[in-house]
Structure formats: C-alpha cells, structure tokens
Chains A and B, each alone.
Chain A
Amino acid sequence: DAMVIQNPRYQVTQFGKPVTLSCSQTLNHNVMYWYQQKSSQAPKLLFHYYDKDFNNEADTPDNFQSRRPNTSFCFLDIRSPGLGDAAMYLCATSRGSQGYEQYFGPGTRLTVT
C-alpha cells in the first residue's frame, strides 16, 4: 500500500543535543510537510517542500531545519532541542500545494530530557 512512513516513532533526546526525524513516502507526491503538534493543540505547520522548493513558515524558529534529498524522503533537523520542543511531529504529503488533500504519517513523539 502507498503510504507515509515516519521514523523513529518515539525519540528521546537530551536538551541541546541535535536530533533528526525522518519521513518517507511511496505516494510519489510533490509536496511534503512538517507539522508540530503539542498536547491538546492543533497541528502547526513548520515548513513544506514543493519538489525541491523550500517554504518556511514565518514563525518557525531557526532551530528547525529541513532537508529533502529526493522525492521520497524528507528530514526534520532540530539543532538544539529545548524542553519546549517536546511534541508530536507529523509529516504529511500531497499531490500539489493548492489545497490538495494531505496524507499524514503516524508521527514521531519527541521527548526532551
């Protein structure tokens, strides 16, 4: 089945220690998104790629970076995680960027100690 895969599903990192989250997709979609969702809140868009074109949301902290080496993979790098970065990180894909349906991966739960 075509799908969106995130690894790892659970990640524990230390305060200030860089961490990378991974997302892959077999849908061959052009757009990949990263969302941050804190407890009892709505998902918050961090950035997205349309093919190799990177689009950063204005309020995304510089601590968050992303890479998309090819169509299938996208990475979220948190350079110096703080306690406030503990959250569920959701990757999503869509065929296009103008309101097409987004398909979400299972998420990575990040804990910062």
Chain B
Amino acid sequence: ELKVEQNPLFLSMQEGKNYTIYCNYSTTSDRLYWYRQDPGKSLESLFVLLSNGAVKQEGRLMASLDTKARLSTLHITAAVHDLSATYFCAVVSYYGGSQGNLIFGKGTKLSVKP
C-alpha cells in the first residue's frame, strides 16, 4: 500500500526567507502532483511532475521529483504573505486496490509572517 508522508506539517516563515517542504512516498511511482488549498476553498493545481528528475517552477515556488529516492520537494524562495496556504502533495498509486488513484499527503500548513 502506498503511503505518502509530508513534512513539516506546519511551517511558520518570515517574509523573504527560503524553505523546503518534503514529500516522501513508500512505493514506486513516477507521477506526483502538488496542490495549494486556501482556507475554505478547493484544491488548486500547482505542479505536475511526470518523470524522474522533473523540475517545474512558477514564481517563488519550485518543485522537483526524484523517483529513485521516492522524494519530491517544494522549494519556496523569498516567501511573501500571499503564499500562506496549505500545500498537498499527491502521488499516483500503481498497486493494489488503489491503482490509478491519487494518494494524498496530510498537507503542510504554511504561514508567512511579516
């Protein structure tokens, strides 16, 4: 059974600082998604990572995927308050009854303070 672990679960940052959110998963997969969720809102797609070594960047966020290490990172550069949200990684399961489904991490609640 695929398990997805995100850390940290809570992150309080100062504006202008850099930080990385980690997403580890337990079984082989080569597709991973990052979503952003604002309070009371739905999930907004941030990045689609479809192969080993994939790197995507959008503004102050950069995501990467290492399928051999079963690890994805979401790097935040020079954080601003508007980035405050909960970030979820979701990994595609290729095994068992969950085949084809997205398995979500627990989410990282990011708070960026002045």
Q: Which residues of A contact B (CB under 8 A)?
A: 40-43, 45, 48, 58, 88, 90, 97-99, 101-107, 109
A-B contact count (CB 8 A): 46
| Residues of B in contact, count (CB < 8 Å) | 23
Contact present for B100 and A43 (CB under 8 Å): no
Q: Inside 8 A of A88's CB, which chain B residues have their CB?
A: 40, 42
The CA of A101 and the CA of B44, in the complex, are separated in Å by: 12
Task: Tell me whether A104 and B105 are in contact in the complex, defined as CB-CB below 8 angstroms, given that A58-B97, A99-B31 are known contacts.
Answer: no
* Alpha-carbon distance A99/B104, docked complex (angstroms): 13
Beyond A42-B88, A58-B97, whether A104 also contacts B42 by CB under 8 A is yes
* Residues of chain B having any CB pair with chain A under 8 Å: 31, 33, 35, 40-45, 48, 88, 92, 94, 97, 99-102, 104-107, 109
**A102 close to B41 (CB less than 8 A):** no
Within the complex, the shortest CB–CB distance from B53 to chain A, in Å, comes to 18
Q: Do B100 and A98 touch (CB < 8 A)?
A: yes
Given contact pairs A42-B88, A99-B31, A99-B92, A105 touches B104 in the complex (Cβ within 8 A):
no
